[in-house]
A and B are shown apart, each in its own frame.
Chain A
Amino acid sequence: MKNLKKLIDPNLDEQKLDQYMSQILQEKFDQELKDKYSKKLSEKYNLDKEAGSERTMPATKKSWVLYAVIAFCLSLAAFFAMKKLSAKSSLNPEEFKMMAITYDEQNPFQAKVLTRNVVDEVKFRAFQDFENENFLSVVEKLEASPSENKEDLFLLAYSHFKLGNYKDAEQIFINIGLQDSDDNYLAEARFYRVMSLFADGKKEEGMIAMSFLAKDSWEYTELLKVINR
């Protein structure tokens, strides 16, 4: 702590204090900018520090054929599953959109937030905002201190969903679904990923995503309930 001790030294002269403050805040905000730009470069321009444009691995002719066959089989399966699902509901995409937007499950995730032991103060404030349903503030705070923690990601995605940022929400729900550390939030993330697609007016994509869910899963059953409501 010796550097911070220098800053709180009551005998520190004003000029020195200004100099130290400039230095630590420059480091803090430069880092925040770098994180923000890195995220945008990765998401918008597909450019990462390590892989960069070399991220796409060259594929052999044989593997392309294999990919094509798999893709065809998946599309076929999705098509039939979608047809089966569509039969359950005659709603048009706009009605699906309204159904997803107006869906309110009374935010069952709040209880988990209340009981958690948060050490980080910024996150703690974000969680408080979440409980108060101040979703804009949640997004601002959680995006300012990015985390790979599933719970943080879920709160961020859910807040985006509530704010109507369905594309952002869907992307984060997908990322949560890709984490296989444990089952926490996985079912909820899959459920809301489909809901985000519906809310974004993408009924068919939502139906395809839904058709890939296990038919005896919580998320599939819940989605059916919402659709048939």
Chain B
Amino acid sequence: MEDKNFGLTEATFQNMVNDLKSGKEELFEHIFLSQFEKSIAFIKGRYKMTQGQAYDACMDSLIEFRRCLLLDKIAYGNLNYLFTKMASQRFFKNVKKDNAYDEMPENMEIVDDEMILYSDEKIILEKAWARLGQNCQDLLKKYYYLNIKLKILAEQDSKKPESIRKQKQRCLNTLRINFQSLMKP
């Protein structure tokens, strides 16, 4: 069974997921980065990709895989197959996306529902983020990126959910004010 799961036993897999959830990344990184080259070689051979395409597909899948592990969307079973499947799907998606951009008229708007930042906006995000205090950065990262519910965050900090919600709101407002001040000409 372990050979289908990056050499992991079910218990080690569970430890790795628990570690990840508590912010310890070492085991996850060790397992997946040490398998990265094999995964690249496999999908390269199978789908006739270039090194760069296979690398990007595996990297995107690794990030996606990590997110799914954090959200308990992946169970122990056949992780190798799942990972390479994700990487190949990611490759086809990337190819499709590149072609779509090539064909897109210059004046075409990006769908309003998607928040895709331009490079100058990314710089403002970095600056606005750096102006936040460490507590706010941690809270917003946990809530918006790691998808940890406010209730859980409140339990971790021994606070009431309402006060965590207000704290999150304050942090968000500060970030938006930072955006505003940095965007002024």
Residues of A within 8 A of B (CB): 1, 3-8, 17-30, 33-34, 37-38, 40-41, 44-45, 47, 49-54, 120-122, 125, 145
Q: How far is the CB of B25 from chain A (nearest CB, A)?
A: 9
B141 contacts A25, C-beta separation under 8 Å: yes
Chain B residues whose C-beta falls within 8 Å of the C-beta of A22 in the assembled complex = 144-145
Residues in B neighbouring A53, C-beta threshold 8 A: 37, 41
**At the interface, yes or no: B82 with Cβ under 8 Å from chain A?**
no
Enumerate 28 A-B pairs (CB-CB under 8 Å) in ascending A order: A1-B183, A3-B115, A5-B183, A6-B115, A7-B115, A8-B176, A8-B180, A8-B183, A19-B113, A21-B140, A24-B115, A25-B140, A25-B145, A30-B63, A33-B63, A34-B59, A34-B63, A37-B33, A38-B59, A40-B29, A47-B36, A47-B37, A47-B40, A50-B52, A53-B41, A54-B51, A121-B130, A122-B130
Given contacts A4-B183, A29-B141, A45-B36, contact A23 B52 (CB under 8 A): no
* CB contact between B127 and one of A3, A28, A44, A121 (< 8 Å): that residue: A121
Q: A18-B144, A40-B33 are in contact. Are A4 and B59 (CB under 8 A)?
A: no
**In the complex, what residues of B have CB within 8 A of residue A47's CB?**
36-37, 40
Chain B residues in the interface with A (C-beta under 8 A): 29, 33-34, 36-37, 40-41, 51-52, 55-56, 59, 62-63, 66, 113-118, 120-122, 124-127, 129-131, 140-141, 144-145, 172, 176, 179-180, 183
B40 & A52 in contact (Cβ 8 Å cutoff): yes
Q: Which listed residue (A4, A40, A125, A145) contacts B179, Cβ 8 A?
A: A4
Q: A21-B172, A41-B33 are in contact. Are A4 and B55 (CB under 8 A)?
A: no
Q: Give, as a whole number of angstroms, the nearest-CB distance from A152 to chain B.
A: 15
Q: Across the two chains, which residue of chain B brings its CB closest to A49?
A: B55
In angstroms, how far is the closest chain A Cβ from the Cβ of B135?
16
Query: Closest Cβ of chain A: how far from B91's Cβ, in Å?
Result: 14
Other-chain contact of B145, A17, A29, A40 (Cβ < 8 Å): A29
Residues of B within 8 A of A120 (CB): 126-127
Ordered nearest first, which 10 A-B pairs have the shortest CB separation?
Answer: A23-B115, A20-B115, A49-B55, A52-B51, A25-B144, A121-B127, A22-B144, A29-B145, A25-B145, A122-B130
From residue B171, how far is it (CB to closest CB) to chain A in Å?
A: 10
Contacting residues, chain B, for A27 (C-beta < 8 A): 116-117
